[in-house]
Chains A and B, each alone.
Chain A
Amino acid sequence: MEVTLSVRRYNPDDKERPSWWQDYTVDVERTASVLDALIKVREEVDGSLSLRCSCRSAICGSCAMRVNGHAHLACNTKIIEASQDGSKIRVEPMGNAAVVKDLVVDMKMFWDKVRQVSPWLQPAGPEPAGEYTAPNEAMLHLAGVMSCIMCGACVSDCTSLEVDKNFIAPAALAKAYRFVADPRDAQTVERLRMLNEYSGIWDCTRCYECVQACPKGVAPMDRIMAMRDKAMEAGFTKTYGARHTDAFVDSIEHSGWLDELRLPIKTVGMFNLPKLMGFGPVGLRALMRGKMPPIFHTPVPNVKNVRRLFKKVRATQGREQK
């Protein structure tokens, strides 16, 4: 079948155009991937098109790029899925990274962030003569994270990173989880302390883009949320993130719905005047547009049922922890 790829191109040596779209039409098998089509372009049409690729089977992580606006591995994105109505397939380099040439981006920032989480096993004490003993369930659970191939798709589409370049971002945080959840690692608390800081686990906005972009089912956001829980369990309850979580839970348990007025106050603290003043303009704008939350927060009808749910959940959690 014939397919047209519209490729976002860039060549730093080309001083006349900063970047441009170029269309290529090639004939491929119905089962072909976007990568197959790109390789065909490179081999038969235009040798100047640059992209990274190697294994063709979604294990080397080289060929992450944006297909129709979202990050994918080109090798496991089918032509017929990317172009169901026979329309052009839009191919661009990954986001949140500088472009080197065409579809090749600079991965330096990506690897710097990975380095930031001290990504190596740090067990305590002298090594045993044999292997470390560890439950198979724990290892199978970790295998779900270790199947990350570091392709960068999640980082490409991370909306938090887009507004704050310091955010450690999903791939490196999932990597951190791989150690936090490893029963052999002895630095869990230290790791969580570091991840609790600005740019760490509390800076994720839970937009789900990374979960959707991940070609290996790693679900980085879920790992970040699991680390939030672990951090609070480890006693890191004084962060804005942790207090926000507590305030949220308290409000629902108390009244069955969110008390939007008290939430920020409880999050930053009643006596944190500079922070509280910062909310002023937002509050004012909300007031002017009639979106100010009510000052008197009243519980929903039958709030007892909500509280019963909380009780039930707590009881189950208690059992699980034992």
Chain B
Amino acid sequence: MLEHDVLVVGAGLAGMRAAVAAHEKGANVAIISKVHPVRSHSNAAQGGINAALTDRGDSWEDHAFDTVKGSDYLGDQDAIEIMCSEAGAELIRMEHMGVIFNRDDEGKLGTRAFGGQRKARTFFVADFTGQAMLHVLYEQILKTGVRVYEEWFVLDLIMHEGRCAGVTALEIATGRVFVIRAKTVIMCSGGVGRLFEPSTNALIVTGDGMAQAYRAGASLMDMEMVQYHPTTLKGSGVLITEGARGEGAYLLNSQGERFMKRYAPNMMELASRDVVSRSEQTEINEGRGIDGCVLLDCRHLGEKVIRERLTQIVDIGRDFAGVDIMKEPIPIRPGMHYIMGGIKTDVDGLTSVPGLYAAGECANVSVHGGNRLGANSLLDTVVFGRRSGHHAADVTKDMDWPKLNIEDLAGQAEDSLQKLLSRNDSGERWSKIRHDLGVDMDKYFGVYRDERGMQTLQRNIQNYKDRYARVAVQDKGRVFNTDLIFTLELGFMIDCAEAIVAGGLERKESRGAHSRTDHPTRDDANWLKHVLVTRTPKGPKLSHLPVVITKWKPEERKY
């Protein structure tokens, strides 16, 4: 039988950090991931990781305040204090593991500026920090010998006597179904970017874990907080790092004007992401865009800075936009990038379901609140990945194995797969539904939203559910059947869409990334609180939780 004290779902930064931490505590730990660990979407994090190092004249309280302000006061300040005060040690830990951060002249870790922060405290590896960290964490996984179920797709969480007790999973290469028993499960499955079309996110980012936790009874929190990144490439939506603006790149409208001076006169291009994205969208809506885009101009940075610090952007400009960034500005637009919302957890990663933890983008601790600062996501993954790994391992020490009927569970999972596979071809395929849903999400849940649009979206989602109930899988085989995988992912995406739009309709104010044209201002009197969505047979049930405020009283947010 396959069994582990701690089973981590997902092998991005949060997942591998959690696994290394659980291993340190002596637990029998394994990772299950639908792709090989180094293919995970943490790769895409370009800019860096934030940490306030005292020996560099910075203070974690300053970092915490920038994060609180960036969150539009929706972040829980106890969690933010933990993240920012542990950031330095965690950064050094990553360096000791082998990450090759860029250095200053004395050979110490060097920093760059990033949006929404008054100090340069972003540590980086050129512009592929996520990739550099991900590959190093995978090195640590090889060193520890932690088992990785590579290219295994989690079908469902197993609930037993009110606890999460493992997963049912499909081995993609063979198409065989397995049960993996676990005392605790840590969900580190990432975000849900592909629900939106276009998105900066990789094709694998389909909200599987959020939906599985939601189905298992966990609460999702602040799902309406969907981040639009200010600089995504026209057309494909490929990401251009905030590091470009951090290094000094300008944003220009069709008149060649640095329009940010009208929206954020102090921070200019380095205001927080929600502010910059809204500014760009306003320029485009008011006719000062070019073909639905504005321009990102790097030319004045000079070849040396571009070559040394923005390596990947040179390639991306050339390969995906046909632009030489040394010579021309790049057409960009705000694009769906990240979800601040996710599975509600405490500061040790524990969700509302016993035995189930969550960390990384799929989780909501909440440190990002209404808007995540650039380079705080990598920090979130490693700090809370580690904390959940430690906690989940500790609690398994005197825990008995859940008594599961493995054959029954595997049989049920196999039956439902068979049912899906043997459905008539005449039905619709996943691809059409996924595309239509994505376009709808972008249209009605974009940078700006309103009641009518979101209601239309909600009705449409019901329609997508009906279409999904009749979906047909074209590939009937079992070996590496990606058609089947995509079909299953679509089911998860639709559940996430339901929670996102429920949250969006519920929050009747504009805060952080949630900008409603029908409720254009922040309303602290009524909405300084979290919106929770829980699944019931009758549909999503909404509830609220107060925001934890420790040191920083909400005030007007200006950049």
Say if the beta carbon of B114 comes within 8 Å of chain A: no
Which residue from chain B places its CB closest to the CB of A119 in the assembled complex? B139
Determine if B139 and A131 form an interchain contact, defined as CB atoms under 8 angstroms apart: no
A165 and B533 CA atoms in complex are apart in Å by: 54
- Whether a CB of chain B sits under 8 angstroms from the CB of A147 is yes
Q: Are B479 and A54 in contact (CB under 8 A)?
A: no
A149 touches B38 (CB 8 A): yes
Q: Which B476-513 residues have C-beta < 8 A from chain A?
A: 476-483
A47, A121, A133 — which one has the most chain B CB atoms within 10 A of its CB? Answer: A47
Q: Known: A31-B322, A44-B431. Is A130-B480 also a contact (CB below 8 A)?
A: no
- The CA of A54 and the CA of B37, in the complex, are separated in Å by 13
Which of A15-23, A58-66, A304-312 is the contact stretch? A58-66
* Structural contact, A136 and B475, CB atoms closer than 8 A: no
Tell me the chain A residues, 85-119 only, with Cβ under 8 Å from chain B.
100-102, 104, 106-107, 111, 114-115, 119
Q: How distant is the Cα of A102 from the Cα of B481 in the complex, in angstroms? A: 11
Chain A residues positioned under 8 Å from B100 (CB to CB): 134, 139, 142-143, 146, 182
CB of A212 within 8 Å of the partner chain: no
B contact residues around A107 at 8 Å (CB): 36
CB distance from A250 to the nearest CB of B (A): 38
| CB-CB nearest in chain A for B104 | A136
**Among A52, A53, A59, A115, which residue has the most Cβ atoms of chain B within 10 A?**
A59
Q: Sort chain A's interface into a size bin.
A: 35 or more
Q: What is the CB-to-nearest-CB distance from A191 to chain B, in angstroms, rounded to a whole number?
A: 14
Against B, the Cβ 8 Å flags (1 = close, 0 = not) of A126-137 are 010011111110
Q: In the complex, which residues of chain B have a beta carbon less than 8 angstroms from the beta carbon of A78?
A: 319
Q: Are B139 and A120 interface neighbours, CB within 8 A?
A: yes
Q: Give A134 to B102 CA distance when docked, in angstroms.
A: 9
Residues of B contacting A60 with CB < 8 Å? Answer: 35, 38-41, 43-44, 202
B97 touches which of A57, A121, A147 (Cβ 8 Å) = A121
Number of B residues, CB within 8 Å of A: 66
Question: Contact check: which of B44, B92, B110, B308 meets A55 at CB < 8 Å?
Answer: B44
List the one stretch of B123-131, B278-286, B342-350 in contact with chain A: B123-131
In the complex, chain B residues whose CB is within 8 Å of the CB of A76:
315, 319-320
Residues in B whose Cβ lies below 8 Å from that of A111:
36
The verdict on B436 contacting chain A, using a C-beta distance below 8 Å, is: no
Nearest-CB distance from A48 to chain B (Å)?
A: 4
Report the nearest B residue to A31, measured CB to CB: B322
| Of the residues B109, B308, B319, B479, contact of A101 by C-beta under 8 Å | B479
- Distance in angstroms from A185 CB to nearest chain B CB is 8
Contact of A13 with B477 in the complex, beta carbons under 8 Å: yes
Contact B38 A58 (CB under 8 A): no
Residues of B with C-beta under 8 A to A130 = 55, 92, 108
B103 within 8 A of A: yes
Interface class of chain A by DSSP: loop
Q: Does A140 touch B at the CB level, under 8 Å?
A: yes
A146 and B202 in contact, given A48-B474, A58-B319 (Cβ under 8 angstroms) = no
Given the known A-B contacts A43-B431, A47-B473, are A139 and B203 also in contact in the complex, defined by CB atoms under 8 Å?
Answer: no
Interchain CB contact (< 8 A) of A139 among B39, B102, B477: B102
Contact between B103 and A135, CB atoms less than 8 A apart: yes
Q: How far is the CA of A100 from the CA of B95 in the complex (A)?
A: 37
Q: Does B479 lie within 8 Å of A48, measured CB to CB?
A: no
A-B contact count (CB 8 A): 170
The answer to whether B429 has its CB under 8 Å from any CB of chain A is: yes
Question: In the assembled complex, how far is the CB of residue B123 from the closest CB belonging to chain A, in whole angstroms?
Answer: 9
In the complex, which residue of chain B has the Cβ closest to the Cβ of A179? B98
Known contacts A43-B431, A55-B202, A62-B39: does B96 contact A132 (CB below 8 Å)? yes
A131, B108: Cβ atoms closer than 8 Å: yes
List of A residues within 8 angstroms of B102 by Cβ: 136, 139-140, 143
Q: Which B residues are in CB contact (< 8 Å) with A106?
A: 173
Interface flag for B424 (CB, 8 Å): no
CB proximity of B228 to chain A, nearest CB, Å = 18
Cα separation A13 to B104 with both chains bound (whole Å) = 57
Q: Does A242 have its Cβ within 8 Å of any Cβ on chain B?
A: no
Within the complex, which residue of B39, B140, B483 is in contact with A54, where a contact is CB–CB below 8 Å?
A: B39
B26 to chain A, nearest CB (A): 20
State the Cβ distance, A176 to closest chain B Cβ, in Å. 12
* Minimum CB distance partner of B479 in chain A: A101
B101 contacts chain A at the CB level, 8 A cutoff: yes
Q: How far is the CA of A106 from the CA of B172 in the complex (A)?
A: 12
Cβ of A50 under 8 Å from chain B: yes
In the complex, whether A197 has a CB less than 8 A from a CB of chain B is no
Complex interface: chain A residues within 8 A of B139 (CB): 119-121
Closest to A129 in B: B92
Q: Are B173 and A100 in contact (CB under 8 A)?
A: yes
Is A42 an interface residue when CB atoms closer than 8 A count as contact? yes
Q: What are 30 A-B contacts defined by CB distance under 8 Å?
A: A31-B235, A43-B431, A43-B435, A48-B477, A54-B203, A56-B236, A57-B320, A59-B44, A59-B128, A60-B41, A60-B44, A61-B39, A100-B480, A104-B480, A107-B36, A121-B98, A121-B136, A130-B55, A131-B109, A132-B96, A133-B103, A135-B103, A136-B102, A136-B107, A139-B101, A142-B100, A143-B126, A146-B128, A146-B131, A147-B311
A residues contacting B by CB (< 8 A) are: 11-13, 31, 42-44, 46-48, 50-62, 76, 78, 100-102, 104, 106-107, 111, 114-115, 119-121, 123, 127, 130-136, 139-140, 142-143, 146-150, 182, 184
Q: Given contact pairs A100-B479, A140-B102, enumerate 20 new A-B contacts (beta carbons under 8 Å).
A: A11-B479, A31-B322, A47-B475, A55-B202, A58-B315, A58-B316, A58-B319, A106-B173, A111-B36, A130-B55, A131-B92, A131-B96, A133-B106, A136-B104, A139-B101, A143-B102, A143-B125, A146-B128, A147-B126, A149-B43
